[in-house]
Amino acid sequence: MNEITKEIFKIIKKEQKRQKDTIELIASENFVSKDILKANGSILTNKYAEGYPSKRYYGGCKYVDQIETIAINLAKELFSAEHANVQPHSGSQANQAVYLAVLKPGDKVLALDLNSGGHLTHGHSLSSSGLLYEFHSYGVNKDTFLLDYDEIEKIALEVMPKLIVTGASNYSRIIDFKRFSEIASKVGALLMVDMAHIAGLVATSLHPSPVPYADFVTSTTHKTLRGPRSGLILCKEKYAKIIDRAVFPGIQGGPHIQTIAAKAICFGECMEESFITYQKRILANIKAMEKAFNNRNVSMISGGSDNHLVSIEVYKSLGITGAEAEKKLEKYNITVNKNSIPYDTLPPTKASGLRLGSAAMTSRGLEENDFYEIANLITDILLDKSLELNKAYQERVKNIIDKLY
């Protein structure tokens, strides 16, 4: 083993310890099964397989064809979709492929704005989405912080986009996909739903599915779905060809077969009874946090949560910016991320909010009373203006860490 290899493995060990000893509340993270890790780190990484099963540009693909076919069939079955493309390397690339399939540069798209919970690939000026296409945005209602479908319809009628995008990185309420499809039909637009965050809830019918209503559904596979870090596109059969062509050769070369194998295992795990129990516990655990924050008068965006995440306002309610709060909690081994809130008066580098998710720590066995305690602990830490580390809070963190598997 050379020095560089030794160094890298030493750092991986440290990261493993960090993950083990941390209360992980980043809403987009999770802990995959040993089988998923094994497939993702397997010899499949050695194989080139440009193209699709039985239509490859390389020889020696008979086994990887079997793997990709299993992944495609499982994705279709899990989400009741007509067609699935399992090759996108990430959620961003899944979105990029849909845009390439249906838009020309300069075409109009309507999507949720970043401060209201949208993702960078939904038209941010530095993302290829915002650079190539004319993105317009809808936000959330100023008083309720909820999606206001009548207002979205009004904006859609003004903009007349070719594509409407919904789905979010930071929206804690149920999204009405049927209403979105009605708006899209009314203005003659296609509908794309990016279900990256809620895919696990959708797979278990704990959030309504966008599949019957959307022309295209994109997702990551590593958030509530608890699979490898990767992407997925689902669509109607009539779009199969343009989607497959947009992924390869449109934006990618050889598929990462090792990750596709891990995705197949993930989809299989999602069909087990225990996965439904897991998703139900994710919801119960976020409700426990919601209850604690309510009791402590910590302001939650839209007043609470229907899914795996809750977004809290810290600048006005606790007197600390999101960036400062993130740093302070990290000192206690609590990992969160700062997030802009709707109509934020602070820049994104400071932000007024924190986004907290329950998917990762539910995977490691925490229950409602633990999440209730975590929300109280976070509130205590953020209200405490002392610069010294507080031993009592450290002890409370340790009590939680000691319970994790």
- Residue 194 catalytic? yes
Active site residue 229: yes
Binding characters for ligand PLP, 328-367, by CB under 6 A (x = yes) = ----------------------------------------
Q: How far is CA 70 from CA 75, 203, 263, in A?
A: 9, 17, 10
Segment near ligand PLP (CB under 6 A), from 135-143, 167-175, 240-248, 351-359?
A: 167-175
CB of 219 to ligand PLP, least distance (A): 8
- Annotated active-site residue in 204, 218, 220, 379: 220
Chain position carrying tokens 């802009």: 340
Which tokens hold the place of 114?
């970043």
What does the alpha-carbon distance between residue 128 and residue 125 come to, in Å, rounded to a whole number?
Answer: 8
Evaluate whether 269 touches 263 at the Cβ level (below 8 Å): no
121 binds ligand PLP (CB under 6 A): yes
Q: Does 28 bind ligand PLP (CB under 6 A)?
A: yes
Closest residue by Cα to residue 141 from 164, 170, 116, 165? 116
Diameter of the chain measured on Cα atoms: 64
Does the active-site annotation cover 344? Answer: no
- Respond yes or no: is residue 69 known to be catalytic: no
Angle at 285 between CA 280 and CA 287, to 5 degrees: 100
Footprint (CB under 6 A) of ligand PLP, residues 290-319: none
Contacts of 252 (CB under 8 A, 6+ apart): 87, 88, 89, 93, 97
Binding of ligand PLP by 119 (CB under 6 A): yes
228 is an interface residue for ligand PLP by CB under 6 A: no
Q: Which helix (H) or strand (E) element contains residue 180?
A: helix 177-187
Residue pair 123/137 in contact (Cβ under 8 Å)? The answer is yes
Residue among 162, 173, 223, 328 flagged as catalytic: 223
Stretch that binds ligand PLP, among 61-69, 103-111, 192-200, 264-272 (CB under 6 A): 192-200
| Chain residues 74-103 in contact with ligand PLP, contact rule CB under 6 A | 90-92
Among positions 51, 139, 161, 167, the unique one binding ligand PLP when judged by CB under 6 A: 167
Binding residues (CB under 6 A) for ligand PLP: these are 28, 90-92, 119, 121, 167-169, 194, 196-197, 220, 231
Active site amino acids: 48, 50, 194, 220, 223, 229
